[in-house]
Each structure stands twice: as structure tokens, then as C-alpha cells.
């Protein structure tokens, strides 16, 4: 059965596709919606927004009629250039596209300096630590901190084009460090604090970073995450490129110090001037590298540009988040270790001069009311989070949100995975008081910006659909030959038919992998997102999940091969296969089928090995990649040509009846073992 056929078969059972995916005991609210139920933007929201249907229609029209002019005009208007560009888009070296190539700018100048005349005393960042400490940082103070740290980086030998790995908690210094890199033209690569020393080391090696910026620790879920310790482990016996490690004292916990290499943040900035002239950068100079999982090999270093990326963040802050810098308190809960924390924490909100909130810790400390308390305390107007967080908090019951006044909210957002309609409705009713548009934003590390999302003052929303492509984003759904599917509700590949300014420029150091991954299937004009999607009768897009072997665990991408490689590196493992398994909170969880070396432990006697392997994966990649379930078998089911029968494994993971021919299996008992029945 080919993929499209398979997808369409799936469609029959997934009229409520996302409900199907997340069917669970969390579904406390009975689904009262019909599939096509529309939620119009509230009247109050519409009347206050600068965007209306006519203005939006003319944006679409302009993008359709004059694509380059559309983006060129926006870039001229929204970015402060040192030297204006003369050519908007160069496609001559496709798929290596360039935007605004001869233009010059500095991204940190755009995010900070240009607001100083009018907004020096305005709060740029409201910070709340997990233990309740708060800080209010004005644009003037932000400028000082970023300038000082930029000078400190320079003093440690970092120059234009050098790589700096940032492994920090969710605290303002993480943003200072990112902006400081942008200021001096260094390329940052932020590694999520939840990744292990091993994963951190891989990323440092791949970037050949000169400096690592970290903290002694960070507060998370009532514990101290020992970041410096992980850096020490990552650097032991490898990563020779690293000359200095700058360590912020966040938690005062003991750290091992390597003289000559390690330097405290406060000492590094102590005598630094509060001014650092922004480096003049070319539009296409890389701003950052961010690693993400694919279906093959090690995670890819997604390389983003300066000007195009900045433009994408700015436009989506305006279009999708309807930002009003005068009175919005914008809170995106994503960690800076993910793309959402880049575009909608470190860059977008600052680039438009807004006030944003950063929270260091877990949503459940001290209880499941923490997010709602923060919203009440700081009068948050715009709240952007992931379906996994919404589902987890929904499961804790309505009492928590009901204890707080959430009436400051005017817009809600979601990102990272399909949101099931039950969670959507709860978000709408209990958090948004039926009054806040919900923007379900589809995008990726590679796209740099929201791509498919509602315009909140114009687009009626449907629970579970990310609605329509944004202006200037030429998204389409195509069949296996790359032909556009025009019939409604036919599943296919989600592609983008034209380059857009914020798109990735390459995979760090590996143009071939860039071309192979994103442009090999349908040629250099069509970016393949790797997702299945369908468009309904109203032209609304519904994301149906990945076409490849990439899992989406709590909105985080994990390559099955990455986890399989980690498992087979364990001395007791001969073979391993990873598949996703539906999970009520995480969306998908990791399930591992393992062929052990030597004797297969029988059920009941396997708990020790299971624990050992789970810890091993956490050490190799990070706790997010830990398999929730591990089953041992004597062999893995394979086709005649030796390929692992993954669809069969997926059926087993879901507890579904097996409808595949298993007669090729030498030992039919294996199925029972995989099912945990033998």
C-alpha cells in the first residue's frame, strides 16, 4: 500500500484526527463539537486590531502578484538597515536561496538599540524564577547587560563567525548571551538544558565552538539541574575547540573548576564597558545554528540567516500575535533551547519592542496553578504554549485556573504538535474565558517562523486546525509525484512551493544533507516539511503527523534512529527498534523493542535491565528520549529484504489488531513476545 493510499485509509478513521491521536482519560470534556465548528474572533478583539479582512486580503494579493516586492517592501519597512539591500531574492543557486544579500544590519541593534530613544525605561523582560524571585529588566538595562557580555566574549577571544554554545537555564542571561553573540557577529548554538553531556558534546564538536556559556545550575521541578557538571563531562577528552567556559552563578552549588579554562560570568563582565559597537553583518551571515532530529543520522545543525530570520520573527509577532508593544505582556513558555524560544523569546518580542515574560521552572511547582498565578500576577495578555502543557494542566482540573484572575489574557497560542479538540476547548473555555482567539501555529526549526496559523482578528478558528498559510507562505499539499492535491480531505505531503526569508540556509557544514533532506523528492523548488497534512472543504489545513521516522514527544522532535543508535551502543543490546505510542499527555511516547545479547529476560525479571536501558538513553541523549516502555524479544520482525516491519511494531505499540502478513517470520512466537505476552 503506498503512502497516500495509507493516509486516505487513515482519514476514514480520523475525521477527528487529533482526537484519535490523543484519545485518553484526559478527555474529561465530552466532545460537543462538530468537525467544522467555527469560532469567530471576538468582537472586542476585532475592533482593537490593526488587521482586518481587507488589509489581509491585500497582503495575500500583493504576495500573489509580486512575491519579491511583497517581502522586499516588508524588509525595507521593518528592519533597521546599516546598508539597504538592492536585490531581494536570489534563486540562481537553488535550493541555496539568498535574501536581501547585499544588505547590512545588526540583529541585536534591531532588537535593542532602536528602542532606546523611546523605550529606554520600558520593561523588556519580566523574569520569574522557579523559587519566586522576580526581576524587571528595562530596555536600557538590557542594552547594558548585552553590551557588557558582548565585550566579555570579545575579551575571551570570540570574533565574527566564531561559534558559541549556550547551555543555560531559562533565565535572562540566556537571552543576554544570545543577543551578545548577535552583537559581535558570533554564531550561537543553544543546547537545551535537558540534553545530556553526551548530546551536548556532540553539538559542541559539530559546531567547533570556541566558548561554552553555562551556569552552575538551574532550578527545575524543585531540583538543581547541574549544567556545569554536564559541560565538564562533555568536554572531557574531546571538544578541543573549546578554549573558555563562562559560568553564571545561578544556584551557588559546588562546581569543579578548571583553572585557565573556566571563568565566572560576573568576573568576565566586571570591568567591561557598557557599550559595544554592533558589528555590521551581511544579511546572509549566519545568526545561529540549532540542532534538530531527523529520520537519519545525528541531529542536524539547522543554520539560520540574520536578516531573513529577523524579518520572519517580526512579521509573525505582528500578524499572528497581533502584538501591541504599548500594553502587551507577551509570554511564550518555550525554552530558549528550542526554535520557539529563539523566535518568540530571544528575538521576536524584543525586535518589536514588546515586554516579555520569562519563567525559569516547571509548570507544576509548587502546584499546577503556577502558570495561572504568573498570568494573574503579571497581567499577561498573550500566552503561547504547547498542547502537552495544556493537556497536563487540564488533567489537574479546573480548580487551579479558577483560583486566578485570567482576564488580562486576550490571545492564546499553541505550537509543536496537533492539539486535540478537547484540549483546545478547555484552553478556549477555562483559560480564555471564551473570549480569546487561539492561534494554532504550524512551523518547524527549519522554517524559522510561524508558517500556517490564523490571523487572530480575521480568521475563524476550528479546534485542531492550524488554518491557513500566512501571507507570502506558499504552502501546498502534494501527492507522491509532487502534484498538488486539489480534492478536499485527501492527505499528502506538506510542502512549501517558494523560498521564504526565514527559511534555513543549510545544514551546518553539510550542504549535501540540506539538499537531500529538504529538496530531493520534488526538486529544488519544493521544500518538503516531512509532515502529512490535508486541506478540508474550507481550505483549512490539518496536520496529521510526520511522514518519516521522527517522533513528536511533548512537542519535541526525536529521531527513532537516534534512540536506536543509543540503545545498540549499550553492551547488552544486540538490536533495537523504536516506535511512537500514543500518550495522553505527551501526545506520543517512546516505545522500544529490544533484542538483548544472550538470553532474553522473561517478564518480571526484566525490570533491572529496563531501568538500566532507560538510564542509558537518558545519559546518551537526555531524559526526554527515555523509552516509556521496553519489550524484549528474541528477534525483530523483518521483511524478506531484511527491513524492520515498523508498521507492525506501531500496531503493537498502539495495542491494535495486527492486519499484516506475518508469515515470513521464522518464529511467530516473536509477535507474542513483542506484545508482552510471552
Residues that bind ligand PRX (CB under 6 A): 292, 339-340, 415-418, 440-445, 466, 529-531, 543, 546, 552, 557
Least distance (Å) between residue 504 CB and ligand PRX = 10
Neighbours of 54 (CB within 10 A): 9
Nearest residue to ligand PRX by CB is: 445
- Give the number of residues written for the chain: 678
Answer yes or no: are the C-beta atoms of 363 and 397 closer than 8 Å.
Answer: no
Least distance (Å) between residue 195 CB and ligand PRX = 13
Residue closer to ligand PRX (CB basis): 292 or 560: 292
Phi, psi of 611 (to 5 degrees): -60, -40
Least distance (Å) between residue 482 CB and ligand PRX = 19
According to DSSP, the β-strands at 244-248 and 211-215 are: parallel
Least distance (Å) between residue 324 CB and ligand PRX = 23
Residue closer to ligand PRX (CB basis): 272 or 466: 466
Least distance (Å) between residue 443 CB and ligand PRX = 5
Answer yes or no: are the C-beta atoms of 91 and 496 closer than 8 Å.
Answer: no
Least distance (Å) between residue 415 CB and ligand PRX = 5
Which three-class secondary structure string do you get for 655-667? CCCCCCCCCCCCC
Residue closer to ligand PRX (CB basis): 33 or 320: 320
Least distance (Å) between residue 440 CB and ligand PRX = 5
Least distance (Å) between residue 293 CB and ligand PRX = 8
Residue closer to ligand PRX (CB basis): 338 or 632: 338
Residue closer to ligand PRX (CB basis): 474 or 624: 624
Least distance (Å) between residue 285 CB and ligand PRX = 22
Least distance (Å) between residue 650 CB and ligand PRX = 16
Least distance (Å) between residue 179 CB and ligand PRX = 21
The 8-class DSSP code of residue 186 comes to P
Residue closer to ligand PRX (CB basis): 395 or 546: 546
Residue closer to ligand PRX (CB basis): 174 or 248: 174
Cell of 399: 480548580
Residue closer to ligand PRX (CB basis): 416 or 596: 416
Answer yes or no: are the C-beta atoms of 382 and 45 closer than 8 Å.
Answer: no
Neighbours of 212 (CB within 10 A): 29
Residue closer to ligand PRX (CB basis): 250 or 557: 557
Neighbours of 396 (CB within 10 A): 14
Contacts of 56 (CB under 8 A, 6+ apart): 455, 458, 471
Phi, psi of 371 (to 5 degrees): -60, -45
Residue closer to ligand PRX (CB basis): 380 or 452: 452
Cell of 492: 499528502
Least distance (Å) between residue 450 CB and ligand PRX = 8
Least distance (Å) between residue 469 CB and ligand PRX = 13
Contacts of 100 (CB under 8 A, 6+ apart): 72, 75, 85, 87, 88, 283, 284, 307, 308, 501
Residue closer to ligand PRX (CB basis): 39 or 100: 39
Q: In 3D, which of 572, 433, 446 has the Cα closest to residue 502?
A: 446
Residue closer to ligand PRX (CB basis): 29 or 624: 624
Least distance (Å) between residue 466 CB and ligand PRX = 5
Question: Measured over all CA atoms, what is the biggest interatomic distance in the chain, rounded to whole angstroms?
Answer: 75
Radius of gyration of the chain (CA): 24
Answer yes or no: are the C-beta atoms of 652 and 658 closer than 8 Å.
Answer: yes
Q: Is the dihedral of CA 614, 620, 626, 631 positive or negative?
A: negative
Cell of 544: 496529521
Beta strands in 365-474 (DSSP E): 382-385, 411-415, 438-441
Residue closer to ligand PRX (CB basis): 376 or 440: 440
Cell of 402: 479558577
Residue closer to ligand PRX (CB basis): 190 or 529: 529
Cell of 48: 482593537
595-602 long-range Cβ contacts below 8 angstroms, 24+ apart = 595/632, 595/633, 595/634, 595/635, 595/636, 596/572, 596/632, 597/571, 597/572, 597/573, 598/572, 600/632, 600/633, 600/634, 600/673, 601/632
Contacts of 501 (CB under 8 A, 6+ apart): 71, 75, 99, 100, 305, 307, 308, 309, 311, 312
Least distance (Å) between residue 292 CB and ligand PRX = 5
Residue closer to ligand PRX (CB basis): 501 or 530: 530
Prior bond of 466 cis (ω within 30°)? no
Residue closer to ligand PRX (CB basis): 340 or 459: 340
Least distance (Å) between residue 444 CB and ligand PRX = 4
Cell of 635: 528477534
Cell of 599: 538470553
Q: In 3D, which of 617, 672, 649 has the Cα closest to residue 195?
A: 617
Amino acid at each position: 500500500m503506498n503512502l497516500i493510499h495509507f493516509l486516505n485509509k487513515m482519514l476514514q478513521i480520523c475525521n477527528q484526527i487529533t482526537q484519535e491521536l490523543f484519545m485518553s482519560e484526559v478527555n474529561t470534556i465530552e466532545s460537543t463539537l462538530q468537525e467544522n465548528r467555527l469560532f469567530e474572533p471576538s468582537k472586542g478583539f476585532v475592533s482593537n486590531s490593526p488587521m482586518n479582512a481587507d488589509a489581509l486580503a491585500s497582503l495575500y494579493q500583493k504576495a500573489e502578484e509580486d512575491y519579491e516586492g511583497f517581502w522586499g517592501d516588508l524588509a525595507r519597512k521593518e528592519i533597521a538597515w546599516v546598508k539597504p539591500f538592492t536585490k531581494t531574492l536570489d534563486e540562481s543557486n537553488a535550493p541555496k536561496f539568498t535574501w536581501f544579500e547585499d544588505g547590512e544590519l545588526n540583529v541585536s541593534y534591531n532588537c535593542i538599540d532602536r528602542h532606546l530613544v523611546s523605550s529606554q525605561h520600558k520593561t523588556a523582560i519580566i523574569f520569574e524564577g522557579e523559587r519566586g524571585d522576580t526581576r524587571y529588566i528595562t530596555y536600557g538595562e538590557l542594552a547594558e547587560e548585552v553590551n557588557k557580555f558582548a565585550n566579555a566574549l570579545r575579551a575571551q577571544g570570540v570574533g565574527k563567525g566564531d561559534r558559541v554554545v549556550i547551555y543555560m537555564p531559562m533565565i535572562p542571561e540566556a537571552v543576554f548571551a544570545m543577543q551578545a553573540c548577535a552583537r559581535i557577529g558570533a554564531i550561537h548554538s543553544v543546547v537545551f538544558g535537558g540534553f545530556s553531556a553526551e548530546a551536548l558534546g556532540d553539538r559542541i564538536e559539530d559546531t567547533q565552538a570556541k566558548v561554552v556559556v553555562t551556569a552552575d545550575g538551574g532550578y527545575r521541578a524543585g531540583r538543581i539541574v547541574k549544567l556545569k557538571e554536564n559541560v565538564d563531562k562533555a568536554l572531557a577528552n574531546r571538544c578541543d575547540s573549546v578554549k573558555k567556559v563562562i559560568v553564571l552563578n545561578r544556584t551557588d552549588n559546588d562546581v569543579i573548576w578548571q583553572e585557565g579554562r573556566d571563568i565566572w560570568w560576573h568576573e568576565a563582565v566586571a570591568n567591561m564597558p557598557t557599550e559595544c559597537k554592533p558589528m555590521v553583518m551581511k544579511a546572509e551571515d549566519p545568526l545561529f545554528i540549532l540542532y534538530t532530529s531527523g529520520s537519519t543520522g545525528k541531529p542536524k545543525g539547522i543554520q539560520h540567516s540574520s536578516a531573513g530570520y529577523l524579518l520572519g520573527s517580526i512579521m509573525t509577532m505582528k500578524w499572528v500575535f497581533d502584538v501591541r508593544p504599548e500594553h502587551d505582556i507577551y509570554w511564550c513558555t518555550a525554552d530558549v533551547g528550542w526554535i520557539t524560544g529563539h523566535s518568540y523569546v530571544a528575538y521576536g518580542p524584543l525586535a518589536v519592542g514588546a515586554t516579555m515574560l520569562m519563567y525559569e521552572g516547571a509548570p507544576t511547582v509548587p502546584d499546577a496553578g503556577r502558570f495561572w498565578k504568573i498570568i494573574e500576577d503579571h497581567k499577561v495578555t498573550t500566552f503561547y504554549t504547547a498542547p502537552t502543557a495544556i493537556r497536563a494542566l487540564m488533567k489537574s482540573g479546573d480548580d487551579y485556573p479558577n483560583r486566578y484572575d485570567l482576564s488580562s489574557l486576550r490571545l492564546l497560542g499553541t505550537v509543536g504538535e496537533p492539539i486535540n479538540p478537547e484540549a483546545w476547548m478547555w484552553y478556549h473555555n477555562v483559560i480564555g474565558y471564551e473570549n480569546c482567539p487561539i492561534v494554532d501555529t504550524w512551523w518547524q526549526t527549519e522554517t524559522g517562523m510561524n508558517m500556517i496559523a490564523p490571523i487572530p482578528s480575521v480568521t475563524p478558528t476550528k479546534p485542531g486546525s492550524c488554518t491557513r498559510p500566512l501571507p507570502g507562505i506558499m504552502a501546498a499539499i502534494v501527492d507522491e509525484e509532487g502534484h498538488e492535491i486539489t480534492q478536499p480531505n485527501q492527505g499528502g505531503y506538506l510542502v512549501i512551493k517558494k523560498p521564504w526569508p526565514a527559511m534555513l540556509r543549510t545544514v551546518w557544514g553539510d550542504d549535501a544533507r540540506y539538499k537531500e533532506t529538504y529538496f530531493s523528492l520534488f526538486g529544488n523548488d519544493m521544500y518538503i516539511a516531512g509532515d502529512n497534512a490535508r486541506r478540508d472543504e474550507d481550505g483549512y489545513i490539518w496536520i496529521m503527523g510526520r511522514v518519516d521516522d521522527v517522533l513528536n514527544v511533548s512537542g519535541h522532535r526525536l529521531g527513532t534512529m537516534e534512540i536506536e543508535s543509543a540503545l545498540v551502543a549499550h553492551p547488552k543490546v544486540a538490536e533495537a527498534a523504536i516506535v511512537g505510542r500514543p500518550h495522553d499527555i505527551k501526545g506520543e511516547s517512546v516505545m522500544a523493542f529490544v533484542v538483548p545479547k544472550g538470553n532474553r529476560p522473561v517478564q518480571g525479571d526484566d525490570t533491572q535491565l529496563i531501568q538500566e536501558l532507560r538510564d542509558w538513553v537518558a545519559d546518551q541523549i537526555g531524559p526526554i528520549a527515555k523509552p516509556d516502555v521496553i519489550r524484549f524479544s528474541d528477534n525483530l520482525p523483518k521483511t524478506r529484504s531484511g527491513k524492520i516491519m515498523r508498521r507492525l511494531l506501531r500496531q503493537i505499540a498502539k495495542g491494535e489488531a495486527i492486519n499484516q502478513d506475518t508469515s515470513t517470520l521464522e518464529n511467530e512466537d516473536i509477535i507474542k513476545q513483542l506484545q508482552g505476552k510471552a
